[in-house]
Structure 1
């Protein structure tokens, strides 16, 4: 990949976190059709030239068809490091599933570490379990 790694200031990290949260809030509450994103992860957050964050890549998203519905029942899809365990066990996708995944993205921003590494190996790492 040709992506450049840059060190982000805490102010910039906070702005990215807020931008991503605003995008998810819009999908959950303000869009004409309510959408549960289903693939919240750092690599699905694009930064423009001014480092403004935009949520993109909606191929796994689900539209909530009933206005008062609390969830969408669906086959589990998404990235293991960001996956809400409740969604994984019940196959019921909710806005809370997006919030869980967003919290993993926040941990990445704060810690500068990937959510999962080397699963099944001696040096495996799980960011969610690493943070008390």
Structure 2
């Protein structure tokens, strides 16, 4: 759980302390790397977007991200918010707890998180 807590601190930094704020947009287990002390580091900022400015609560953008981790409200509306990252991080936590991937195309049944 120390790894999960460290990753959460990284996401919190991007959302609340970075100037300008950043929405990571691709939170998934393979983008959380560990150093030699098992301290988590967020990687692959290729899909990241600067957060909303002023009185806006979202960034309108083309839907990007990894299947199984993308927040449903972002996938359907294209409105990217910090909550989109929180949803994706919740999927990561579920994977840590269950030991199963959010989307596993190697399985004949129960491929999607919502199916099991």
Whether the aligned pair in 2 keeps the contact of 1:46 and 1:53 (CA below 8 Å) is: yes
Partner of 1:56: 43
* Structure-to-structure mapping, 1:97-112, within 5 angstroms: 97-112=84-99
CA RMSD of aligned residues (A): 1.6
TM-score, structure 1 as length reference: 0.81
Q: Aligned residues, how many? A: 116
Q: 2:108 matched to 1:127?
A: no
For residues 45 and 79 of structure 1, the distance between their equivalents in structure 2, rounded to whole angstroms, comes to 14
* Residue 62 (structure 2) aligned to one of 75, 80, 95: 75
TM-score, structure 2 as length reference: 0.92
Structure 1: which 4+ aligned runs deviate by more than 6 Å?
Answer: none
Q: Which runs of 5+ in 1 are unaligned?
A: 1-13
Larger Rg belongs to: 1
Whether the aligned pair in 1 keeps the contact of 2:33 and 2:40 (CA below 8 Å) is: yes
Which gives a bigger RCO, structure 1 or 2 (Cα 8 Å, sep 6+)?
2
